[in-house]
Structure 1
Amino acid sequence: MLQVGMDRARQKKVQKYEEFVDRRLKPDLLRAIAERDKVFEQQKIFSDLKRNIENLEKNSVTSLRTMVNLGSEVYMQADVPDTCRIFVDVGLGFHVEFTRSEALNFIGTKEEQILRRIDEYTRLIASIKAQIKMVCEGIREILQLPVGEL
């Protein structure tokens, strides 16, 4: 009778830990990974912009004809008479007019911020994974399974 009570207590503990992993840690992990992916996308956008500005400077391009995405993959042709000044999306729907060198300076600062955010999310993801591993180890100990059996 005492053994049955112990088994139920163990089962409840295991269930409680499993619920914690499923309801809290796994969603937190998925959210952190998704957020880091968004930051990677921002990094790519700024990297592409930097490369384009550097190409304009390297090739001494002062005007150009390009295709502009209007949304929903609908494009129109646009003439840019003066490429010396550029509008850059600085966030929250605001665009600021920069010279090429000002834009490159802004992008450099933005890239540093982005790298810090990627680092933060990477550490958060590693921490959540470590917590999941620790909880699984706790479950294994409660069930008295050999290492590697869970």
Structure 2
Amino acid sequence: MDEDISRKRKVQRYEEFVDKRLKPDLVKAIAERDKVFHKQKMFLDLKKNIENLENNGITNLRSMVNLGSEVYMQAEVPDTRHIFVDIGLGFHVEFTWSEALQFISVREARLARQIEEYTQLIANIKIKAQIKLVCEGIRELLQIRAE
């Protein structure tokens, strides 16, 4: 009887560890990787837009700009050869097309490394393996065969 109570307490501690520590870590790592994917997509879009401007020789353009809350205003860009790029922390730097493409190339490499690190964290031994280890411990305590 005491052994059953002890076993149930151990199982409960394992389950709490999985639910309160390991699963939130996994969810957080996935969310952080998704943020990096979003940044990567933004830079890829910017790169394509710059290349389109360059290839088509477009030096001025008219566009609709979102002012916020889905309120738009028509804008005219008299010289597209110099653009402002968000470099992080709320700072923007004026670049020529070639400077912007160089910056994007460096940033893409950094983002790719970050994505790889998060992917390793998610898929690797670190989080999922700990969850599997705890689940195996629970099975062992409950004397259930592994599937």
TM-score (norm 2): 0.96
Could you say which residue in structure 2 is the equivalent of 1:43? 40
Could you say which residue in structure 1 is the equivalent of 2:139? 140
- Paired with 1:96 and 1:44, the residues of 2 have a C-alpha distance of 19
Could you list the structure 1 runs, at least 4 aligned residues long, displaced by more than 2 angstroms after superposition.
none
Counterpart of 2:40, as a letter, is Q
The answer to whether the aligner puts 1:93 opposite 2:86 as a matched pair is: no
- Please state whether the residue corresponding to 2:58 is helix, strand or coil: coil
Q: Name stretches of at least 5 consecutive residues in structure 2 with no aligned partner.
A: none
Highest relative contact order (Cα 8 Å, sep 6+), 1 or 2? 2
Counterpart of 1:50, as a letter, is K
- Please state whether the residue corresponding to 1:146 is helix, strand or coil: coil
Identity of aligned residues (%): 70
Counterpart of 1:129, as a letter, is K
Could you say which residue in structure 2 is the equivalent of 1:111? 108
What does 1:1-150 align with in structure 2 at a 5 Å threshold?
Answer: 4-126=1-123, 127-148=126-147
Counterpart of 1:31, as a letter, is K
Q: Name stretches of at least 5 consecutive residues in structure 1 with no aligned partner.
A: none
- Please state whether the residue corresponding to 2:21 is helix, strand or coil: helix
- Paired with 1:89 and 1:43, the residues of 2 have a C-alpha distance of 13
- Please state whether the residue corresponding to 1:147 is helix, strand or coil: coil
- Please state whether the residue corresponding to 2:19 is helix, strand or coil: helix
